[in-house]
Amino acid sequence: MRPLLLILTIIAIAVAASAVPADKVELSVDLSKSGPTISRYLFGQFAEHLGHGIYEGIWVGPDSAIPNTRGIRNDVVAALKAIKVPDVRWPGGCFADEYHWRNGVGPQRVVTLNPNWGGVIEPNTFGTDEFMDFLNQIGAEPYISVNVGSGAPREAAEWLEYMTASQPTTLEKERAANGHPAPYKVGFMGIGNESWACGGNMTEDYYLSQLKIYSRFVRNFNPEQQDTDQMLKIAVGPGGPDTRWTEAVMKAYQTHGWSWDINGLSLHSYTVPHWPPSFASVGFGETEYSQILKSTLEMEDLITRQSAVMDQYDPQKKVTLVVDEWGAWYAPLPGSNPGFLVQQNSMRDAILAALNLNIFARHADRVRMANIAQMVNVLQSMILTDKEKMVLTPTYYIFKMYVPFQDATFVPVTFDAGTYTNGNITLPRVDAIAAKDKSGKLWLEITNLDPNQPVDIEASLAGITAKSASGETLTAPMVDSVNTFDAPNTVVPKPVSAKVQGGKLVLRLEPKSVTVISVQQ
């Protein structure tokens, strides 16, 4: 095409695009009001010994041709550092209740099987010290899940002693001999995993008796953490809307004495409209897009319902609701091992992630920790790898765009969301949260769920003299657009044009987009 013709074509396309009719949504943000802190731990991750989540995804071994530091891949570390991962839950999941930590320390590793996830060999080459090294490299804290299902209180107690003792006990010396004289800091401990299912099919009463024993005897010996407030002890909680399990644990909590305690209750909730998971992660259309978003928005009711029960027994909200498994769970990618839970990650997942993070932020007084499932190569991951190749998913970019919300103060934002309808499904057209960071800067996140129509936003900003605004938006050509090893930049954030006019923030949201704006005063 000749240069002049090309320029005229570009201008014509730009004029046509700006002429697309857009619905208008008005938001009100009031900086003079503020809510709780949006804990950085809401942006936590989960890495299980499952498929290529650990082996190949994180650990390639020191002799690998893939660039690594002490066996941990450098490309994955660099990508995770950029999203400021606060904590990683490990080693499972269902795997945790069959994990025996001794198999994975020292020069001689015990080779076992991984019956939960494909029955493959578990070499135990990635164990406690490798996990801590990985966390140190990415700058995150450990969330350890101890084995209640097939382990014993003594085994878990010795694991904590190995990790945290500073006095010269035999286990402390063993850790030092393994190259780690300084005690590790373990700030989070999960006592079992889904004990009502893969964690041992326990009744509430049976679990409670185990919980009390583990809570009593599995101690943190790190001198900097002996005040129990320094380690969140997280009990197994519900896996859906049924509140009986929550009721039982919280009732016990209310009457607990000096000899046992918890300060966290886990909640697992995947976006999976049907079991077994049958929705495809690629090659879908607007019907499946709207069905999945409808399903994911059920997180709001679920948290409200479970929090209400917690409020009855813990009105001061001392116990954190820890949503330590969440995300989309789709059908395994054709040709993959079904036990490896491999799925692609699309623009739909980016919107799904934003909606859930916003729900957590709105419940930040009770929900102070969450861990998406899972970090690399499994379910709704941040990163996909294939041998030496790595690609960042749309969900990764959401976590990156939300970094300014980590530990920011929630600021109420009110709006009439309008609606987006597809067939018999009606969803809110937009969703939004606002927060003030430590320097006082206002951050606004706005999601346009409508995959077809842009939305014009006009936000009134009380309690601030706004001068200018800037930000980024994540959108894609299609709802099922993905990043691949060959085309890694299909869904990546781009600068967005936002203005302050007459004290109001004005911008246009692209269809199916997630936008984060900062307002300069």
Give me the catalytic one of 194, 288, 445, 510. 194
Smallest distance from the beta carbon of 64 to ligand AHR, in angstroms? 26
Q: Choose the binding region for ligand AHR from 87-95, 120-128, 407-415, 460-468 (rule: CB under 6 A).
A: 87-95
Smallest gap, in angstroms, from Cβ of residue 276 to ligand AHR? 12
Binding mask 360-389 for ligand AHR (x = CB under 6 A): -------------xx----x----------
DSSP assignments along 151-170, one per residue: S-HHHHHHHHHHHH--S--H
SS3 state of residue 281:
coil
Of 222 and 374, which has the nearer Cβ to ligand AHR? 374
Residue ranges in 149-168 that form contacts with ligand AHR under rule CB under 6 A: none
Query: Tokens 């015990």 correspond to what residue?
Result: 110
- Whole-Å CA distances, 88 to 9, 81, 378: 49, 12, 14
Smaller CB distance to ligand AHR: residue 111 or 197? Answer: 197
Query: In the beta sheet, which residues pair with residue 455?
Result: 23, 509
Give the shortest CB-92-to-ligand AHR separation in angstroms.
5
Residue 325 annotated as catalytic: yes
- Residue 413 and residue 358 in contact, taking contact as beta carbons nearer than 8 Å: no
Is residue 194 annotated as part of the catalytic site, yes or no? yes
Contact between 94 and ligand AHR per CB under 6 A? yes
**Contact region for ligand AHR (CB under 6 A) — 88-96, 103-111, 211-219, 436-444?**
88-96
Radius of gyration of the chain from its Cα atoms, rounded to whole angstroms: 24
Question: What is the DSSP track for 288-306?
Answer: HHHHHHHHHTHHHHHHHHH
What number of chain residues touch ligand AHR (CB under 6 A)? 10
Residue 332, preceding peptide bond in cis (omega within 30° of 0): no
Q: Which of 25, 48, 297, 357 binds ligand AHR (CB under 6 A)?
A: 48
Residue 416: other Cβ atoms inside 10 A: 11
Measured between alpha carbons, how far is 55 from 340 in angstroms, rounded to an integer?
A: 12
Q: Which of 406, 404, 409, 356 has its CA nearest to residue 516?
A: 404
Position 92 contacts ligand AHR (CB under 6 A): yes
Which is the catalytic residue, given 56, 98, 161, 325? 325
Among 68, 137, 164, 193, interactor with ligand AHR by CB under 6 A: 193
Is 325 a binding residue for ligand AHR by CB under 6 A? The answer is yes
Other Cβ atoms less than 10 A from the Cβ of 2: the count is 7
Nearest distance from residue 377's CB to ligand AHR, in Å? 12
Strands 87-90, 44-46: pairing kind: parallel
- Closest distance between ligand AHR and the C-beta of residue 89, in Å? 10
Q: Which is nearer to ligand AHR, 198 or 248 (CB)?
A: 198
Point out the residue whose Cβ comes nearest to ligand AHR: 93
CB of 258: closest distance to ligand AHR in angstroms? 31
Contact 514, 477 (CB under 8 A): no
Where does this chain touch ligand AHR (CB under 6 A) — which range of 91-99, 396-404, 460-468, 476-484?
A: 91-99
Cβ 91 to ligand AHR, closest distance in Å?
10
Helices assigned H by DSSP within 346-499? 347-362, 394-401
Q: Which of 173, 172, 151 is nearest to 162 (CA)?
A: 172
234: enclosing H helix or E strand: strand 232-235
Any idea which residues carry the catalytic annotation?
Answer: 194, 325
Chain residues in the site for ligand AHR (CB under 6 A): 48, 92-94, 193-194, 325, 373-374, 379
